[in-house]
Amino acid sequence: MIRIITDSAADLTPQEQQAPGVVVVPMAITFEDGSSIEDDGQMTKDEFFERLAADSKLPRTSQPSPAAFIDAYTDAELAGDEAIVITVGQKLSGTFQCATMAAADVDTPVYVIDSETATQGEALIVREALRLRDMGLSAEQIVDVLERFKKRVRIVAVVDSLKHLQKGGRVPAAVALVGGALGIKPVIALYESAVKLVGKGRGRPGALVSMFKQLDEMGGVDTNYSCTVLYSDEKGMAGPVHHYLTQNLKLDGVRTCQIGATIGTHVGPRAVGIVFVAKDPA
């Protein structure tokens, strides 16, 4: 069997985590008071965002240790399984490096893929890996497909401000200042491991319009794959986005998922976004 190993930044649903051959290695979150939790579902996503709002300092996120990956690889090795590892983008976290280091310490074949994305973008790549595995492709074939597929995965989102991304070092202070003008809501995109300011709008309605325009500007939506609506702490914000995708664009199978603690630390509250696969330029 081919095991699909990922990290908790992928925000897999409990059902996805329980799928045969799926392993999630948790990230860690350290709060202002020094207490730490693993991003393993013991603290719910809503509880995390309540804590994020209550604390005056941003939590710190930590990648899994190489030892955590070695444990996952060793389990695969004992079962005679190969392993494909899909990590959060390596420009966003050191997880890819830890997973790669750990692979050198086991004999079982391990293929490590930098997803170049996070949260439901990463989950989308995990789901594609499972689909290809269940079609009977070899590990090498799956990796070859995913390395090309990941270049088409896009996340575009409206955030309340860029302060969490700036404090976490994910965007420069100058970009955060541009996106933080009074009454202006920034629109960000994540692809190829980079967080970019791609638009802005006056108030949330204006920002949503700007976000919707990005769907075409970022390559158009490949309707062979489902879109996912992301939200951080307020599920109600996902409603207008879901309505636009299903009613205006007539898309089927649109998911709605909450952002987890690892990525939620950096995007902050009142964020809403779209994950989609861009059309194949070929």
Q: Domain holding 86: CATH number? A: 3.40.50.10170
Q: Which residue has the higher pLDDT, 281 or 15?
A: 15
> pLDDT digit string (tens) for 202-251?
889 999 999 999 999 999 999 999 999 999 999 999 999 999 999 999 99
Q: How much is the pLDDT for 179?
A: 47
Asked if the model's pLDDT at residue 123 lies above 50, the reply is yes
Q: For the chain, what is the mean pLDDT?
A: 91
State which amino acid sits at residue 121: G
Tell me, what CATH number does 159's domain have? Answer: 3.30.1180.10
Give me the domain span that covers residue 263: 152-277
Is residue 95 within 8 Å of 64, Cβ to Cβ? Answer: yes
d(CA 195, CA 225): 23
| Same domain membership, residue 179 and residue 239 | yes
Is residue 32 within 8 Å of 38, Cβ to Cβ? Answer: no
Residue 110 is inside which H or E element, if any? strand 110-114
d(CA 58, CA 32): 7
| Mean pLDDT of the region 127-141 | 97
> Which of 151, 177, 211 is the endpoint of a domain?
151
> pLDDT digit string (tens) for 8-20?
999 999 999 999 9
**Residue 102 CA: distances (Å) to CA of 13, 94, 105:** 26, 13, 5
| Same domain membership, residue 14 and residue 139 | yes
d(CA 255, CA 227): 6
Q: How much is the pLDDT for 112?
A: 98
Determine, yes or no, domain membership for 282: no
Is residue 211 within 8 Å of 273, Cβ to Cβ? Answer: yes
| Mean pLDDT of the region 165-189 | 63
| Same domain membership, residue 161 and residue 91 | no
> Which of 124, 151, 178 is the endpoint of a domain?
151
| Same domain membership, residue 230 and residue 162 | yes
pTM score: 0.93
| Same domain membership, residue 181 and residue 115 | no
| Strand order through the sheet with 82-87 | 22-25, 2-7, 82-87, 110-114
State which amino acid sits at residue 46: D
Nearest to 211 by CA among 151, 251, 271: 271
Is residue 131 within 8 Å of 142, Cβ to Cβ? Answer: no
Q: Where are the alpha helices (DSSP H) in 42-118?
A: 45-54, 66-78, 95-103
Domains: count for the chain? 2
| Same domain membership, residue 142 and residue 19 | yes
